[in-house]
Structure 1
Amino acid sequence: MYNILIRAITVVGLIWNTFALNAQESGGIIHGRVLDIDGTPLVGATTSLVREVDTFTISSVATDEYGKYRHANIEAGDYQLIVNHLGNERYISELLRIEAGATMLMTDIEIGESTTILKEVIVVRKEPYITQKIDRTVVNVDALISNAGTNALDVLEKTPGVRVDPNGMINLAGKAGVVVYIDNRPTYMSGEELANYLRSMPASSLQKIEVMQNPPAQYDAAGDAGILNILTKKAPGTGFTAGLDLGLIQHRYTASNNSMNFGYSGNKLRMNGNLGYVVQNGFADVSISRQFFDATGKITSTFDQLSKIRRQGQGMLSMINVDYNLTEKSTMGIVLNGTFARPNRKTPNRNSIYDSGGMLDSTLLSDNLEKGRIGNISFNLNYRRKFDKENHDFIINADYLNFQIDRDQRFNNSGIQNDGLLTFFEQLSGKLESDINIYSINADYRYPLTEDILISTGVKTNFTKTGNTADYFFVKNDEYIPDYDKTNNFRYRENINAAYVNFYADYQRLSIQLGLRIENTIGSGHQLGNVMRPDSSFNRNYTGLFPTLFMLYKLDSLSHNQLRFSYGRRLERPYYQDLNPFLNPVDHYTYNVGNPYLEPSFSNKIELSHIFKNMVTTSIGYSDARNLVSETIEIMDGTYYSRPNNIGRTTVWNASVDVALSPIRWWDLQFRAEMARLHARGDFYMGYLDNIGYNGYIQGMMGFGLGKGWRVQVDGHYQTDITQAQFVYGSKWGVNTGVSKKISDRTSIRFSASDIFYTNINRGIINDLHDAKANYRNVGDTRRFQLTFSFRFGNSGVSKPGNQTNSADEERSRVKL
């Protein structure tokens, strides 16, 4: 870490020495902000300062991500300020007199949308698909037509730089360990459970995705690969509004995604809400082949497994956010969230065992059924106090979250010889219950030292209490006999205390953000055991420092060329349930196993980017992670065990280019290409693991406006083979398309088709197995057709997401439901 930090400081020093003179200003200064009529900053508006005596433009500056502009070194005289932004009315100021050496702060300039009818073509302000900021990339969900009728997981999979593996694990820029937030609050889930939750969240309720590979200091340090923050739609600024989205999905089966959002805003009261109802009806055909060898490398047996997984169920999501202005400068808010789902999974599978000559030896038929009940309730109470200066405020959040997860499992296994004779029948019944409670409180304070220098600081503490009970029984002649190898009762307690300070300075061309966060973690786990297994326990206590640094330098006054530098140190804590050492059966020959010896992972990341006109971003990056937690596979006596383990060291070099532009008014283009080199090495149960892999990824989108409310879009991706620890994920590609029609200002309809050629199929190879090798293929419901009808009533339009954050930021992401 220290070598990387020293290099980062050196780079900062070089950049500072090179550009410090450019940040110094002389002569007069005129500065201010440009907003739309809703008070949202206008990014990329051109502000021109025109000399009155000869109408000569002496300075032209584009507004930044906060809508700010600044003209410096202005000679004394009379001027007019002119503001232009595509899709908005032009603004021309009154005559401005600037004195020598004086600074003039303009009042906020608010400009409305401009609607110009040209041959029945309506030109209005269109939000870009991708926006680059100093510490994150922002993706506009509605800009992609093929998102219509889908869900949040599908939206993430189409987000540039994001990949989703067959188990629902989300990767960012080729790295695992992503924490998913929703409206600045973590989901507290992972893996398949997070995937199920995101599948139940309609895409129509989403507004933006914030991609943060190096999150700033005010965010929790957890998340080795970074944070994906999903921002949902809110109501407009005045009156009442509501929207209804009905989506029908057809693949092999029929499913639906439906949502309604509503809001009200008065003089003192502001309320937003979302309701979602989802019918899940998916499938996955999974085939796994395992070959076993003797000491000479000769095949001794082959095991082929075919599973026909059916996922069905219903889910409801609800959220209500109420803010009340106690005074002109103080606001009290309450946020209530509820998620209730009934996921069911039925998995009949056929396991064929062949001898060394390839002749069928025996067959195992399994009929596995799981019925789940998931309930999540969260409560947030927040208070915000604004002071006289802009960006001078104090915010406090208190949170309580509860997860109740129950699963009823049944495994029926029948062994059949090759002559058809039944050799055994086994029935296993399981009941799993999890109860997770999280209490958290945090306070944040921001103070602007000057208009261009902002300091923020905050503290946080949270307490987590989890309980997981698993009762398994062999069922024989209606008698339930305890299976003590799998039955367990696991308890875990954790307390995290954190504090941070963040410094932000914005000069004429140079913006810099420095942060430092400290976190202390105290945890204890207790496995209560049973009559066959003794009690066991463990304790953890560790403290970490997490510095962050962001720099953005504008190489020209119009911000056509910008350099962005970022450095951050991150932490990845083990999931709560991964610390439970007992067995969790998937089928007769496959088990998930926890690991109480997991250590936290620490990583350092550095990235340098060039941004051209906010349209083309080229980046190179490097990350170095120690003790990265990764899934590992071990085969013993023909049984397949999936267990999380620490990988000693994992380094990643990556390069990428992002393009988002409109070559012609009616043509939008977005493209991303990335390459990475991943090197994983460390102690492994097979000996020493040392794997190097190279991979590439291409993703793109083209959209065409056809006039009269019609729009067509095509998007797709291609992924090369990816080597990651034991796994080699196979190449895959997919093409999607969509068409939308705006029937009226309040009504629209969209039709989209995903994975048209049915090529987005997950497959791969598992290496480093003891006297064995394995491969798999997973064909799911990736090819689908969606029809979505949207209707808005009340005040049309959607406001920007709120700034209210939540004190329980990281803990939700560590829950495996």
Structure 2
Amino acid sequence: MPVTGPRCRLCLPEKMRSLLFSLVLCCFSAAYSQLPPTKPCLTRGVVYSGGKPVAQATITLLSLPDSLPLQTQASASNGSFLFSNLCNGKLLRISATGFANQLVPAPADTTLVIVNLVPVTKELNAVTVNAERRAVQSYPDRTVIRVDNTPSHAASNALDILERSPGVSIDRDGQISMQGKQGTLLLIDGKKVYVNAQEAANLLRSISAQQIDHIELVPQPSAKYDASGTAGLIHIHTKSGRNTGWSGNSSLVLSAGKYARASMNSTVFYQQQKIAAAISYATGYTRNSYEIFIYRLYRTADNKIATLHNQYTFNPVTQVPHAIRTNVDYRISPVKTISLQATAYFSELTDGGKTSTHIAEPLRGKSLGSTDFSNRISRANYSGGISYRQQLNKKGDEFSMDADYSYFNRSNTQTNHNYLFDSVNSPVGSPYLLRGDNPSRIDVYSAKFDLVKTDNHQFKWETGGKMSYVNTSNRSDYERYTGTTWEQDARSNHFNYTEKIMAAYLSVKKAAGNWNITAGARLEHTVADGVQLQNNQSFSKRYTNLFPSVSIAKKLDNNQTLLFSYNRRIDRPNYQDLNPFQFILNQFTFQQGNPLLSPQFTQAVEAGWSKRNFSAKYYYSQITDLISDNIYQDTVLKLSFQQKDNVAIKSIHGISMNLSTRVWQKLSLSFYTHVFYNRMQGTIDQETFRVEAVSGSANVTAQIQLPKSWSVDLATTYQHRNYLSALLYDKGSANVTVGVGKQLFSNTWNLRLIVRDPFLWQRVYYTSYYKGVDFSIKQLTDSRQISISISYRFGKDTNRSAARKSSAAEEQVRAGATGS
């Protein structure tokens, strides 16, 4: 019987889906027609030295207080420069070869800025070093990772960098946690990533360090962002050209461990008056292996040993990905810009291995199970979007609208052949032969608008709305060999799922003296429908939720700030986690989805203090309807399977500290640690449970600047043992990375040598004790590697981060379809 709820009058019928964007754009047009006429935002100036103009000086417009670059250009032959369509720039940074860098406040009006550069003397060398941005910058409300400032990042990808970031941990399935909480809202250049944890990890592996400018970790996002992500927001900003004319960069990374690997990426930027464009291509060859040790001990009711399973799997994996990203910005006028974005991702992944299972039973003796398996996964993903921005005045008021479409296609063919032998290696029974084809497709449509206005009382108001529609289709076609023919297996199924989310938000900011207050709320209405066509089972869910948020900052003096924040957030189940199909590892082990999953909700409070380069924070979170990854055992059939369920209430109390300092002129240190108390209590299989642990992590990064453009850095990460879920206990891990860098040929070439995990401390080791079954899993990968990175850049100063936004920022984290 289908489970249904009251129909939502706000939801569009299926036949009206094709009209979604037309209606939204009509609303946008109506809103736009009401906007007041605007005046251009201009920042103009001239660069001199000794009374003579300086040509080709690099002028960067920065925001405050974070000093993030908004736009950069080179001065003309007469030394002049002009920034338009940027009303929130607060600071100008001017640099030129042979001159000392200067920071000049940007005027609030169109007053001409006159800059007089001073030729460099030997005494100014130390100033240049001190002005360099640190690799990790801590702010009261977020942490910023500067990727280019760490040589050991050169041979890494986005997932590797996150794994070594303060307060971040990643489990074996690619699930990202921040401050002990799973579930993050992942943005790439403002675009939400609509994939599940495993596929998000695959996507992040396809983004090389050379493509990234910086990464923001925000534990308490404002109401402007989607309410998803109980752990907060991770925003990856890629590089974009900021110099007039052509510029770009290219890199090649060669790595060796047990297997050889290679990756290559190239990016070309073009900027000229009204047009700015970028295109990048990345590819590679990855060879890895997974060794998985699974131990299961089944006990009788009187605690005697009934059966022992000792399982070993060796799984070599090969993948060849291709990723293309492009972006074009066209400035219609000094205050109006339209942008087009498109991405394409393709990959082929193949694996094939063998599982050996030693089975011991006191009454039947010993036996051996053997499984030969193979998988071939092909992915083809596309996304495109259009956005419009208009600056309304010099106060920073802005209107914007976005529309996006994403398509994810994944095919997976697999074979699974199982054999059973007795203690003398004679076959027992007939082989268990299975083959399957599991294609899936996800379509995501989204559109949103945002309006920022500052009233006469200096209250800054932000409001907007968003609509998204997701359609997923998943098939599972399994066949089992009966001895003479292949027949359809009972596991075969077809699952369709649709989801509509309509959201609106309102936020207000006010700065009064040393106080800075932000308060807002986001309202989201969700309509979800799923149906299994094979057995005609269906479900229907309707729910509306309000997500308030507040942030209060008090500036004690020029160096000290107090911060308090509160918000409520949601984590909806990933689309693939709702899929009821089974993914089979062998005859005794499989993974399956759960269509009955409900969202989990989080309320979080933070209170912090920062002084210069040091910050400390207390945080508390309570998660209800916790989505937990559980390992279940069938003691009769001796099966183990993994499934997500809503099982518990989770509470976290934690303290974190972050320090970035320059020990002496050439040595910089960044230290982060957090300690937290984690408690979960709830019900699994009609039995109550309670688990608790004190855990934490530590990150230390040391950077040394040596003469003649040499640099060395050391990064260490430690994750203490903790309950990963209600039934899985993580034994903890550590990692060490060392990098040496050298800049060549006027800093246009960069050569780096990186050694990762030389002591093989990066491992996965989980245990579980539940209902008479002792379970443990250990996973080893080819993590010890040595890499050589060679990068080249042309043009001048090609390091501006892209600042594009999108309407499709949450749904891509839940779709489940990007690379490996």
Q: Normalising by structure 2, what TM-score?
A: 0.85
Match of 1:29 in 2: none
Q: In structure 1, what is the Cα distance between the partners aligned to 2:556 and 2:715?
A: 33
Deviation at 1:106, TM superposition (A): 9.4
Deviation at 1:279, TM superposition (A): 1.2
- Structure 1 residues 44 and 503: CA distance shift in structure 2, 3 A: closer
Residues 548-588 of structure 1 show CA distances to partners (whole Å, capped at 9, x for unaligned) of 111222111x2x11111111100010111222233221221
- Structure 1 residue matching 2:577: 3-state secondary structure: helix
- Structure 1 residues 239 and 773: CA distance shift in structure 2, 3 A: same
Amino acid at match of 2:622: D
**Superposition misfits of 4+ residues, deviation over 4 angstroms:** 32-36, 42-45, 65-69, 90-94, 104-115, 119-122
Could you tell me whether the CA contact under 8 Å between 2:327 and 2:342 is conserved in 1?
A: yes
- Structure 1 residue matching 2:467: 3-state secondary structure: strand
Residues 265-320 of structure 1 show CA distances to partners (whole Å, capped at 9, x for unaligned) of 11111101221112111111110100010011111121011111212110011110
Could you tell me whether the CA contact under 8 Å between 1:317 and 1:340 is conserved in 2?
A: yes
Could you tell me whether the CA contact under 8 Å between 1:120 and 1:708 is conserved in 2?
A: no
Could you tell me whether the CA contact under 8 Å between 1:87 and 1:126 is conserved in 2?
A: no
Match of 2:768 in 1: 766
Aligned residues: 731
- Structure 1 residues 555 and 587: CA distance shift in structure 2, 3 A: same
Establish whether residue 386 from structure 1 lines up as the match of residue 378 from structure 2: no
- Structure 2 residue matching 1:806: 3-state secondary structure: coil
Amino acid at match of 2:517: I
Amino acid at match of 2:574: Y
Match of 1:416 in 2: 421
Match of 1:365 in 2: 370
Structure 1 unpaired stretches of 5+? 1-31, 46-64, 70-85, 95-103
- Structure 2 residue matching 1:195: 3-state secondary structure: helix
- Structure 1 residues 34 and 646: CA distance shift in structure 2, 3 A: farther
Match of 2:602 in 1: 603
Q: In the TM superposition, what are the counterparts of 1:319-468 in structure 2 within 5 Å? A: 319-356=325-362, 361-423=366-428, 424-449=430-455, 452-468=458-474
Could you tell me whether the CA contact under 8 Å between 1:721 and 1:730 is conserved in 2?
A: yes
Amino acid at match of 1:603: T
Percentage of pairs with the same residue:
26
Q: In structure 1, what is the Cα distance between the partners aligned to 2:671 and 2:254?
A: 29
Q: In the TM superposition, what are the counterparts of 1:339-738 in structure 2 within 5 Å? A: 339-356=345-362, 361-423=366-428, 424-449=430-455, 452-476=458-482, 479-484=485-490, 486-529=491-534, 534-556=535-557, 558=558, 560-613=559-612, 615-636=613-634, 637-685=637-685, 687-724=687-724, 725-738=726-739
From 62, 67, 83, the equivalent of 1:40 is 62
Deviation at 1:426, TM superposition (A): 2.2
Establish whether residue 136 from structure 1 lines up as the match of residue 135 from structure 2: no
Q: In structure 2, what is the Cα distance between the partners aligned to 1:704 and 1:813?
A: 37
Match of 2:304 in 1: 298
- Structure 2 residue matching 1:598: 3-state secondary structure: coil
Q: In structure 2, what is the Cα distance between the partners aligned to 1:344 and 1:566?
A: 46
Match of 2:13 in 1: none
Q: In structure 2, what is the Cα distance between the partners aligned to 1:300 and 1:127?
A: 61
Deviation at 1:476, TM superposition (A): 4.8
Structure 2 unpaired stretches of 5+? 1-41, 46-57, 68-86, 92-98
Deviation at 1:747, TM superposition (A): 0.6
- Structure 1 residue matching 2:59: 3-state secondary structure: coil
Q: In structure 2, what is the Cα distance between the partners aligned to 1:502 and 1:604?
A: 18
Deviation at 1:435, TM superposition (A): 0.9
Deviation at 1:385, TM superposition (A): 1.4
Amino acid at match of 1:781: D
Amino acid at match of 2:479: F
- Structure 1 residues 93 and 168: CA distance shift in structure 2, 3 A: closer
Q: Normalising by structure 1, what TM-score?
A: 0.86
- Structure 1 residues 664 and 360: CA distance shift in structure 2, 3 A: farther
- Structure 2 residue matching 1:304: 3-state secondary structure: strand
- Structure 2 residue matching 1:198: 3-state secondary structure: helix
From 752, 777, 800, the equivalent of 1:750 is 752
Could you tell me whether the CA contact under 8 Å between 2:577 and 2:594 is conserved in 1?
A: yes
Amino acid at match of 1:516: A
Q: In structure 2, what is the Cα distance between the partners aligned to 1:747 and 1:703?
A: 20
Could you tell me whether the CA contact under 8 Å between 2:166 and 2:698 is conserved in 1?
A: no
Match of 2:216 in 1: 210
Q: In structure 2, what is the Cα distance between the partners aligned to 1:676 and 1:108?
A: 53
From 232, 238, 254, the equivalent of 2:238 is 232
Amino acid at match of 2:452: R
Could you tell me whether the CA contact under 8 Å between 1:88 and 1:111 is conserved in 2?
A: no
Could you tell me whether the CA contact under 8 Å between 1:458 and 1:500 is conserved in 2?
A: yes
Q: In structure 2, what is the Cα distance between the partners aligned to 1:350 and 1:193?
A: 28
- Structure 1 residues 587 and 181: CA distance shift in structure 2, 3 A: farther
Structure of greater relative contact order (alpha carbons < 8 Å, 6+ residues apart): 2
Could you tell me whether the CA contact under 8 Å between 2:183 and 2:230 is conserved in 1?
A: yes
Match of 1:88 in 2: 101
Amino acid at match of 1:511: N
Q: In the TM superposition, what are the counterparts of 1:60-139 in structure 2 within 5 Å? A: 88-89=101-102, 116=120, 118=122, 123=128, 125-133=131-139, 135-139=141-145
Q: In structure 2, what is the Cα distance between the partners aligned to 1:760 and 1:112?
A: 52
Deviation at 1:132, TM superposition (A): 3.8
- Structure 2 residue matching 1:285: 3-state secondary structure: strand
Query: In angstroms, what is the RMSD of aligned CA positions?
Result: 2.6
Deviation at 1:696, TM superposition (A): 1.9
Deviation at 1:111, TM superposition (A): 6.7
- Structure 1 residues 450 and 292: CA distance shift in structure 2, 3 A: same
- Structure 1 residues 373 and 87: CA distance shift in structure 2, 3 A: farther
